[in-house]
Amino acid sequence: SPAGDSWGIFTFLCAALCNLPALPALNCSEELGTSQSIQQTYDLTRYLEHQLRTLAGTYLNYLGPPFNEPDFNPPRLARAERVPSATVDLDLWRGLTDNARLAANYRAYSRLLCYLRVLDGQVGTAELRHRLAHFCASLQGLVLSIGGVMSSLGYPLPAGPPAPPGAPPASNDFLKKMDDFWLLKELQTWLWRSAKDFNRLKKKVPPAVVTLRLEARGF
Task: Find, among 202, 209, 210, the residue nearest to 43 by Cα.
Answer: 202
Q: Is the per-residue pLDDT at 110 higher than 60?
A: yes
Amino acid letter, 74: P
Q: What is the pLDDT of residues 143-192, one digit of tens each?
A: 999 999 999 999 999 876 555 554 556 668 888 888 889 899 999 999 99
User: Phi/psi of residue 140, each to 5°?
Assistant: -60, -40
Top-confidence residue, 75 or 171 = 75
In this predicted structure, what is the pLDDT of residue 163? 53
**Cβ neighbours of 169 (radius 10 Å):** 9
Amino acid found at 205: V
Which helix (H) or strand (E) segment holds residue 24: the answer is none
Q: Domain-by-domain residue ranges, the chain? A: 31-204
When pLDDT is averaged across residues 85-99 and rounded to a whole number, the result is 85
List the one residue out of 3, 29, 64, 57 whose CA is nearest residue 215: 29
pLDDT score, position 126: 86
Which of 184, 194, 202 lies closest to 51 in space, CA to CA?
A: 184
CATH of 31-204, one of 3.40.50.300, 1.20.1250.10, 1.10.3720.10, 3.40.50.2000: 1.20.1250.10
Q: What does the pLDDT read at residue 124?
A: 72
Confidence of residue 205 (pLDDT cuts 50, 70, 90): confident
Of the listed ranges 72-76, 132-136, 154-158, 204-208, the least confidently predicted one is 204-208
